[in-house]
Amino acid sequence: MQLDWIDDILAVIDTGSLTRAAERRFLTQSAFTRRVRLIEERIGAPLFDRSCKPVTILPGVQAMEPELRELGARLRRLQHDLKSAADGGTRDVTFVCQHAITTTISPWVVRQLTQSQDISVRVRSGNRDNCLMLLLSGEADFAITYERPDASGPALPQAFEIRRLGGDTLVPVASPDLVNNADEHEMPFISYPPDVFLGRVFSQCILPLLPEGVLLSPKAETALTLAACEYALDGIGVAWLPLTLVKRHLKEGRLRRLNDLPLQDLGIMLIRLSDQQGDGNAQIWADLTTIPELSVGL
């Protein structure tokens, strides 16, 4: 399947006729019709219903529109990558970040790198354990994760090199309505699954420090901080969320910080495999790890 073929088929889907599709493709109608017939011959199947006027695309082909658009985007990306590799131009680098970091910190990383180097940054998202697995499997060049200041770091410490980029804080927040009407002894809250990083932080670092007599009543559970933030905004319960994620809501008054409940400091760590120290991404590591922490904007 050629990229031009995909663009021709999508032009017909988008415009609804061969005539308007020919105009979009900057061809005469006769030339475009010949191209369409050539595509059908090469594929070995008709793509259009010529029994009606105007000619329409067959329903089965129409149903494949999402796959055609995805394939077209992938082929364009491949063309770009091949050209960049041949020209020695833009390089690609892949970061994998914890979900909350993808939203709050990765824009800073992308901005720093694209301003200082001619590279294209791909960002993937996952839970903390998944981030490290993608790093070990070679599917990512760098990982950015949270870490407790008192933690010993990831398992297999000899496999990783770790540098601190900055800090964040897991803070309890709730909607103003919930704060104003909350029971001082029983408090609805949004929990994290116990097998994810923030769930472990909550159970080990926050739960033991709750004021005596305060009972948390779980109303929802999610591993996604963005979802937990929306639940808090909707007044469902108190949520412990990264300050980087909620500081705008706090400033606008949509959330309030509950200062009588415990919080937890977190480090933001940049991680790579130890044996990558001499690879082509060494400059990226150097650029990120030599910038003062305050410039992360936390």
pLDDT tens digits, one per residue of 92-101: 888 999 988 9
pLDDT one-digit tens code per residue, 147-157? 988 776 655 56
Least confident of 24-33, 107-116, 150-159: 150-159
Q: Which residue has the tokens 């007044």?
A: 235
Q: Tell me, what's the pLDDT at 296?
A: 47
- Residue 132: CA count within 13 A, CB half-sphere: 17
Tell me if the bond preceding 193 is cis, omega within 30° of 0: no
For the chain, the domains span: 3-84, 91-298
Q: Is the pLDDT of residue 251 over 90?
A: yes
CA distance 75 to 70: 9
Which CATH number does the domain 91-298 belong to among 3.10.20.740, 3.40.50.720, 3.30.1280.10, 3.40.190.290? 3.40.190.290
Condensed to tens digits (0 to 9), the pLDDT of residues 129-138 reads 888 888 888 8
Compute the chain's Rg from CA coordinates: 26
CATH class, range 3-84: mainly alpha
What is the residue-wise DSSP string for 14-64? HHSSHHHHHHHTT--HHHHHHHHHHHHHHHTS--EETTSSS-EE-HHHHTT
User: What per-residue confidence (pLDDT) applies to 295?
Assistant: 43
Residue 228's pLDDT band (boundaries 50, 70, 90)? very high
Instruction: Give the C-alpha separation, 51 to 116, whole Å.
Output: 58
Higher pLDDT, 19 or 175: 175
With beta carbons less than 8 A apart as the criterion, state whether 256 and 210 touch.
no
The mean pLDDT of 191-205, rounded to a whole number, is 92
Percent of the chain with pLDDT over 70: 88
Cross-strand bridge partners of residue 241: 171
Global pTM? 0.65
Q: How far apart are CA 167 and CA 295, in angstroms?
A: 11
Q: pLDDT at position 99, please?
A: 87
Task: Quickly state the pLDDT bin for 227 (edges 50, 70, 90).
Answer: very high
Which of 193, 200, 90 shows the shortest CA–CA distance to 145? 200
Would you say 43 and 77 are in contact if contact means Cβ atoms under 8 Å apart?
no
